[in-house]
A and B are shown apart, each in its own frame.
Chain A
Amino acid sequence: MSVGEVAVLGVGMHPWGKWGRNFVEYGVVAARAALADAEVDWRDIQFVAGGETVRNGYPGYVAGATFAQALGWQGAPVVSAYAACASGATALNAARAQILAGLCDVALVVGADTTPKGFLAPNAGERGDDPDWLRFRLLGATNPTYFGLYARRRMEQYGATPDHFAKVKVKNARHGLNNPYARFRKEVTIEDVNASPMVSDPLRLLEICATSDGAAALVICSLDYARSRGVSNPVRIAAVSTVTPTYPNTVIEMPNFATDSAYGVPEPERSFRDSIAYAAYEQAGIGPEDVNLAEVYDLSTSLELDWYENIGLCAPGEAEQLLDSGATALGGRVPVNVSGGLASFGEAVPAQAIQQVCEITWQLRGQAEGRQVEGARVGLTVNQGLFGHGSCVIAKR
């Protein structure tokens, strides 16, 4: 499959934190920062894609329009995309498709969230036909429950140890020290991690990402439009993968009670998580060996190790070894989560996949002060939203 590229003309963020203000404020800050970075007037934006938040009432459901109104109505069509943690990539893909189809030249993508304290909880009420509600009622299966199942599985299958998981947190906390947009900017030790309270065994409090407020935005455009603005060598988005699973999906996933049954049907060639990056590599015409840095969704420490394998940085069962070798730390062969990752940000759901793209863009431009991956030419982001949403972006320069 040959897919055209779009340019990233501008990126912007509002710092992550627990600010307790309206999500629209954060979105406007991020959008204006991206517009300023792109040197594009808001009134020249031809399409707006918003990542939805489902925790902020109606304005969150219609995020595209909410941000367009907040920035000042100027007539551009909007879309609002919800794909759980993958919402940002889905919004980006909607805007990219408009550009690649020739329907517009330049678009704004924004995601912002204000999150409540503690576990993300399902919608209120008696919702006996909603698996997201039922998993809490019948099993107490919080999100960290699924993370704990995956972590224990790595220990049983591959001999991972709690110290391996802790090392991921230590690495990402160190990376995040120099990121002005990160919420947690404090070095931690393996001992700190192992002394933090157990949440979902074997995962401890410091190994499970918090929920945060924050916002991120992108201005993307056609390569012609970028040239017309005098930008001859922009960061280019070569792939956006938003694939869903292929039946039968044989790995247990949020918010499900069971996997699909593989009885009587051939299993897909790749697991769902493997298929997310695979589709992006196919679009971009590159492979894992070409990737200089990656931002992967470390909802938990052990999930980062799963992602190493899912995006092809190493073979299944070798992630602990790759981590121990230092390859995924800043200065290593393929640094992972140099932004600090979710370990340093906490999750602002609809903004997070966009934050990943902001980081890759700064890295490929050589602007990631204090955490720069020298000579980075290709960056990859990967993430997964519950209910079967894949998210992977490959950017090049």
Chain B
Amino acid sequence: MSNAESRNKSDHKTSNKTQVAAIEGWMTTDGEARLVGGRGAETGSYFFPKNMAFSRNPSAPSEEIAEVQLSARGRVWSWTTNHYQPPAPYMPADPFVPYTVLAVELDEERMVVLGRLAPDCDPSTLSSGAEVEVERGVLYEDDDNQYMVWQWRPVATEDAR
């Protein structure tokens, strides 16, 4: 199965609920899953999350910021699995399930971005430098909606899935 097909599969609604972004404007809501950041018109600096109002690059304080899709793939910088339920506003599953947070290096953007590991992936297979790809996943849901967030999936395990 190609990556694009598996993405479509993971995007496929598994219920009649409406999928909405857990936070607006941080990632694409349809089509290919990508994080959405900002990019400075003069320096090419990337920002995530984006902030269109001003540039944080002190060498170009007045540069315009344009919306940009960040790279779909990155490499694992580090990861950790949390075994305790965090306080609100975390929306835990009931019962609580441990979850893994990844720090991922994006080569083109030269930045590290956090995100959770896709919940069906085994963190014991991770290693630093391993390639991962961004996708949409359900962060939590209520009676009407599924609230979607970005998550990372190891590229190597994708075809074996």
A387: interface (CB < 8 Å) = no
| Interchain residue pairs A-B with the least CB separation, the first 9 | A148-B80, A121-B87, A261-B46, A156-B128, A262-B110, A153-B78, A201-B81, A137-B89, A261-B111
* Contact for B115 among A139, A198, A201, A251, CB less than 8 A: A139
A61: interface (CB < 8 Å) = no
Interface string of A114-147 (1 = CB under 8 A from B): 0000110110101110000111111111101100
- Main DSSP-derived SS at the A contact region: loop
A149: interface (CB < 8 Å) = yes
Which residues of A (248-300) have their CB < 8 Å from a CB of B? 248, 250-252, 256-265
Q: How far is the CB of B86 from chain A (nearest CB, A)?
A: 5
B36: interface (CB < 8 Å) = no
CB–CB B82/A148 < 8 A: yes
A199: interface (CB < 8 Å) = yes
* Contact for B82 among A121, A135, A142, CB less than 8 A: A142
B1: interface (CB < 8 Å) = no
Q: A136-B87, A250-B112 are in contact. List 14 more A-B contacts (CB 8 A).
A: A121-B88, A136-B90, A139-B116, A145-B82, A148-B80, A198-B83, A201-B123, A203-B80, A258-B114, A261-B45, A261-B46, A261-B110, A262-B111, A263-B46
- Main DSSP-derived SS at the B contact region: loop
CB–CB B88/A200 < 8 A: no
CB–CB A122/B101 < 8 A: no
Q: A247 — which chain B residues lie within 8 A by C-beta?
A: 56-59
Which residues of B (92-114) have their CB < 8 Å from a CB of A? 99, 101, 103, 108-114
A152: interface (CB < 8 Å) = yes
A140 and B58 in contact (CB under 8 A), knowing A121-B88, A200-B82?
no
* A134–B114 CA distance with the chains assembled, in angstroms: 12
Q: A265 — which chain B residues lie within 8 A by C-beta?
A: 43, 45, 57, 59
Q: A256 — which chain B residues lie within 8 A by C-beta?
A: 114
* Contact for A141 among B46, B84, B101, CB less than 8 A: B101
CB–CB B44/A263 < 8 A: yes
A258 and B111 in contact (CB under 8 A), knowing A145-B80, A200-B81, A200-B82?
yes
A228: interface (CB < 8 Å) = no
14 inter-chain pairs at a CB distance below 8 angstroms, sorted by A residue, are A119-B87, A126-B89, A136-B88, A148-B80, A149-B77, A153-B128, A197-B84, A201-B81, A203-B80, A252-B77, A252-B114, A257-B48, A258-B113, A261-B110
